[in-house]
């Protein structure tokens, strides 16, 4: 349950941040763009992510206590930023449904939410890379989080705004390919690097990962296939079959990143007496 709720939390929030980031960019490039579906889905993912983080707690009813230590605790800061991000996106979605003519306010909320969300992902990375889990204490943690947000956000944004985002299709495809390439270029060499580490905690993490190597294989197969499909569809004009391919690419990227995130949490080995 613990790893599953943390996986749902971080994947949903990062996908939501990614979508919001591309809505913000698209709005800056095309002032007439509405991107209603993308905004609503980003708000939904944000809410699911928040709920998952609350139900991960042993005492969900006391969740708001986590806001108390902003000045000292990275986790408290991250919870503040997640809450503000979700609140901004939900507000934008509500205005969309109730007063859609307020385009300026919606754009403002989306742009601020995108900035807050990007800081939030940095804080998520900092939470884990500062923990006493040597496997997480590398820059790969940050790269994995940001690249997951970008690749999932770009493909979901494209799928949810096919007509409106058509003008960005090629940019989005190149962005997804670049994000996946960076993720692979950093995460795989990092794993190889860790394999020669003398840390017992890291070796224990790698033993856990090797016992789940089939899941690891599917993670990268799905992510790669999703990215290749995204690039493939970008060259053609819109049609129902292309839409299905975009959906397939989104599913592949989402499932691949979700498996990867589950493995990230499953590999947690904290240092201790005799395990450094």
Is the Cα dihedral 162, 7, 139, 195 positive or negative? Answer: negative
Query: According to CB under 8 A, which one of 4, 28, 62, 243 is a site residue for other proteins?
Result: 62
Asked whether the beta carbons of 114 and 152 are under 8 A apart, the reply is: no
Cα atoms in the Cβ-side hemisphere of radius 13 Å centred on 98? 7
Q: Hey, is 275 helix, strand or coil?
A: strand
Among residues 213, 206, 219, the alpha carbon closest in space to that of 268 is found at: 206
Q: Hey, is 27 helix, strand or coil?
A: helix
Report, in Å, the least distance between residue 52 CB and other proteins.
13
Report, in Å, the least distance between residue 70 CB and other proteins.
9
Which structure tokens are listed for 259? 């498996």
Query: According to CB under 8 A, which one of 1, 31, 59, 237 is a site residue for other proteins?
Result: 59
Asked whether the beta carbons of 89 and 48 are under 8 A apart, the reply is: no
For other proteins, give the closer residue by CB, 207 or 270: 270
Q: Hey, is 143 helix, strand or coil?
A: helix
207 part of the interface to other proteins, by CB under 8 A: no
Query: According to CB under 8 A, which one of 28, 69, 139, 221 is a site residue for other proteins?
Result: 69
Query: According to CB under 8 A, which one of 12, 45, 50, 74 is a site residue for other proteins?
Result: 74
Span interacting with other proteins, options 22-30, 91-99, 107-115, 264-272, rule CB under 8 A:
264-272
Distance from C-alpha of 257 to C-alpha of 242, rounded to nearest angstrom = 22
The residues that bridge with 272 in the sheet, in sequence order, are 275
Span interacting with other proteins, options 128-136, 206-214, 238-246, 253-261, rule CB under 8 A:
128-136
For other proteins, give the closer residue by CB, 70 or 167: 70
57 part of the interface to other proteins, by CB under 8 A: yes
Report, in Å, the least distance between residue 77 CB and other proteins.
9
Report, in Å, the least distance between residue 201 CB and other proteins.
10
DSSP state of 102: -
- Dihedrals φ, ψ of 272, to 5°? -170, -160
Span interacting with other proteins, options 32-40, 62-70, 85-93, 169-177, rule CB under 8 A:
62-70
Query: According to CB under 8 A, which one of 34, 51, 75, 171 is a site residue for other proteins?
Result: 75
Residues 6+ apart with CB under 8 A from 16: 42, 43, 45, 46, 49, 85, 86, 89, 117, 153
What is the binding site for other proteins (CB under 8 A)? 2, 56-59, 62-63, 65-69, 72-76, 79, 127-128, 130-133, 268, 270-276
């Amino acid at each position: 349950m613990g790893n599953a709720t943390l996986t749902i939390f971080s994947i949903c929030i990062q996908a939501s941040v990614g979508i919001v980031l591309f809505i913000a960019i698209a709005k800056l490039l095309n002032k007439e763009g509405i991107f209603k579906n993308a905004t609503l889905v980003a708000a939904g993912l944000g809410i699911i992510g928040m709920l998952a983080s609350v139900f991960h707690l042993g005492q969900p009813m006391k969740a708001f206590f986590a806001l108390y230590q902003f000045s000292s605790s990275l986790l408290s800061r991250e919870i503040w930023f997640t809450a503000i991000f979700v609140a901004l996106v939900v507000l934008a979605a509500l205005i969309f449904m109730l007063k859609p003519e307020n385009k300026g306010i919606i754009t403002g909320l989306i742009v601020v939410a995108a900035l807050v969300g990007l800081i939030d992902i940095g804080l998520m990375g900092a939470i884990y890379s500062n923990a006493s889990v040597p496997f997480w204490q590398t820059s790969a943690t940050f790269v994995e989080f940001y690249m997951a947000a970008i690749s999932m956000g770009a493909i979901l944004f494209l799928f949810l705004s096919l007509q409106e985002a058509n003008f960005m299709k090629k940019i989005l495809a190149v962005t997804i390919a670049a994000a996946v390439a960076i993720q692979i270029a950093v995460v795989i060499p990092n794993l190889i690097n860790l394999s020669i580490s003398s840390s017992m905690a890291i070796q224990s993490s790698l033993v856990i990962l090797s016992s789940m190597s089939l899941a690891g294989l599917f993670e990268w197969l799905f992510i790669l296939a999703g990215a290749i499909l995204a690039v493939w569809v970008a060259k053609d004009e819109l049609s129902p079959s292309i839409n299905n391919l975009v959906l397939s690419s989104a599913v592949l990227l989402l499932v691949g990143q979700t498996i990867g995130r589950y493995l990230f949490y499953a590999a947690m080995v904290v240092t201790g007496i005799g395990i450094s």
